[in-house]
Amino acid sequence: MYQALYRKYRPQTFDDVVGQSTVVKVLKNSISQHKFCHAYMFFGSRGTGKTSLSKIFAKAVNCLEPVDGNPCGKCKNCLISGEKECVDILEIDAASNNGVDEIRELRNKINLVPGELKYKVYIIDEVHMLSIGAFNALLKTLEEPPEHAIFILATTDPQKVPETIISRCQCFSFERIATNMIVERLKYVCEQEHIQIEDEVLHEIALSSDGGMRDSLGILDKLSSYTDELITMNIYTELNGLITKKDLKMLCDSVFIGDYKGVLTHINNFNNNGKNLVQILSQFMYYLRDLLVDYYVNKNSIEYPTELVEKLITNINEKMFDIKKSGNPKIYIEILLLNFMSECSVKVSTKSVNKVSDISKTVENNSASTTVTANNTYVVNTNIDNSISDSNIVKNLEKNDYQIEKESTIVEKDVIHDTGDILNLRDIINVRINNAFALANKQVLNHEIDNLKLLNDYTFDQKIGYLVCELLNSKFRVASEDIIVLSFEYDSIVQQNLLHLEQMEEVYEKITHSSKKFAIISDEEWNKLKKEYIQHLRDGNHYEVLEEPEKVFKKEETDDIISNDATMLFGDIVEID
């Protein structure tokens, strides 16, 4: 019987696992040093190796002669562990066995000693699907399991697992597998299976799998079943409901020249031909991304304005989740692209623009600084990254002296109030935002955005987890060498996080080794900030770096009757010598 590729090439040792080097190293060392934990939790996106590593670890802890932490695969226990009938390694699907009765049955049997192996290993897949009653029934067993029992909980959604369960496990975060690692693994499988395939197709498979090895092998399996001959990009696009690069180029041209009818016609044709519009939009986003990489890295020319390409990628990426959940993705995608085209047409100069190549001279990006030229067009300065978002920027700037008027505020009084013990916090935030825009650096912003992934391993930390989660929920808008402006969706969240501003800065520095001051604002205020900032620079003004004021703290109040003002306590009835 034919065996699917993802099953046939499932890793059998730690060394076979792709892309999870940190997790593998810890587990191998624990085997070599005989330091086993009684409960583990593996969490991460689908197809990243959670179940495979669980099975390898279960085999390794029972191996009689492990080799550098790997199961030898030859001893009696390894041979027994590899059999489906093994009674000491139990794999439980929590999605279909999520009731309290199933967990109680597990508890009743767990005290029985292993029948053939050294340890009983319980692998509970998709553990977040357990009911509250089942979690409660499992809790006591996890806290004090018998010495011969080991639990491995695997989940794609750790947020749904109670903290009481998580705190009793040694947790490991599984990262999405890098594209180049997936490509290398696919090449190996193709060599073993004698599959002829273009390198470009392998790259597209790796991209579409979103970091999941199982999905990649599944797509390769489907393609290999379609033909015994060379698998080309045309076959890949046809079989997966995608479109060719020629179609992508035509759609791109229509968007950036403002051809509304052409865009609608392309989308309608794709839909009528049975294409998956959500996949096509994702494909379109990667196509735009490749154009930018080719421009910035390979120094090749690009026929579209880079700031608009970046803005469109950002718009698509931010709306992708909503599009997938939409009742009618076709209409959502149409409105998204037409709205983008409409916004761009508003931002061009008063002179008409007929060619795509002219747009870069006349369109201002919502995050790029601009200056006005004599012919009334705008020259884009890409010093500020176009992913910088929105808020309420410096108002009432004098056109000639470029200084902020004293009464001008970057953040409205009804948005950011005096919080904590710092009386002049609002003034400090104002100056930080001004200075961030004055010294904005796209490379710094991109670097800090990349740093965010370092925070993922600390989301469950009992001391700093809540601060890390708040940082991950923020949007990094603009950054300089010393300052990051970040925004949150609601004003209430802004107020709450301002109370922990210094702690957030300290946590971010310790994890990323990047020392930055934060300026926290709301998404709504950022939108205002962006528009006013662009208008200000359009008028030919520039920002000067201001000196951040010293923090002014509240005076400590005391209930000591001696140190308090007697008059305040007793009024005029007291005579003071």
CATH number for the domain that contains residue 354: 1.20.272
From the number of C-beta atoms within 10 Å of its C-beta (0-12, 13-18, 19+), residue 245 rates as: middle
Same domain, 202 and 161: no
| pLDDT on residue 141 | 80
pTM of the full predicted structure? 0.54
Domain interval for residue 274:
245-363
Phi, psi of 14 (to 5 degrees): -60, -35
Across the chain, what does the average pLDDT equal? Answer: 78
Q: What are phi and psi of 488, to 5 degrees?
A: -125, 160
- 92 with 214, same domain: the answer is no
Do 27 and 135 sit in the same domain of this protein?
yes
Highest mean pLDDT pick, 140-144, 264-268, 377-381:
264-268
Of 344, 363, 382, the residue that ends a domain is: 363
Amino acid in position 434: N
Q: Which two tokens stand for residue 346?
A: 């508003």
Residues 235 and 263 occupy one common structural domain: no
Q: Are residues 253 and 123 in the same domain?
A: no
Whether the pLDDT of residue 483 is over 90: the answer is yes
In angstroms, the CA 122 to CA 117 distance is 13
User: Residue 545 in contact with residue 437, Cβ under 8 Å?
Assistant: no
Q: Which percentage of the chain shows pLDDT scores above 90?
A: 9
Q: How far apart are CA 458 and CA 465, in angstroms?
A: 6
- Asked whether the predicted pLDDT for residue 556 surpasses 60, the reply is no
CATH code, domain carrying 27:
3.40.50.300
Q: How large is the average pLDDT for residues 287-312? A: 87
Structure confidence by residue, pLDDT tens digits, 35-44: 888 888 898 8
More confident residue, 127 or 569: 127
- Mean per-residue pLDDT, 396-403: 32
The amino acid that residue 377 corresponds to is T
In this structure, what CATH number is given to the domain that contains residue 207? 1.10.8.60
Contact 231, 220 (CB under 8 A): no
Give the model's pLDDT for residue 233: 87
Which of 142, 174, 206 is at the close of a domain?
Answer: 174
Nearby residues of 79 by Cβ (< 8 Å), 6 or more positions away: none
Total domain count, the chain = 4
Residues 400 and 482 in one domain: yes
What is the Cα–Cα distance from 6 to 532, expressed in whole angstroms?
54
Asked whether the predicted pLDDT for residue 518 surpasses 90, the reply is: yes
Model confidence over 101-137: pLDDT tens digits? Answer: 777 778 778 888 888 888 888 888 888 888 888 888 8
Q: Are 282 and 359 in the same domain? A: yes
Is residue 267 very low, low, confident or very high in pLDDT (cuts 50, 70, 90)?
A: very high
Asked if pLDDT for residue 401 goes beyond 70, the answer is: no
3-class DSSP assignment, residue 369: strand
Q: Which of 124, 147, 174 is the last residue of a domain?
A: 174
The answer, yes or no, to whether residue 501 has pLDDT greater than 80, is yes
- Rg (C-alpha) for the chain, rounded Å, is 30
Both 395 and 335 in one domain: the answer is: no
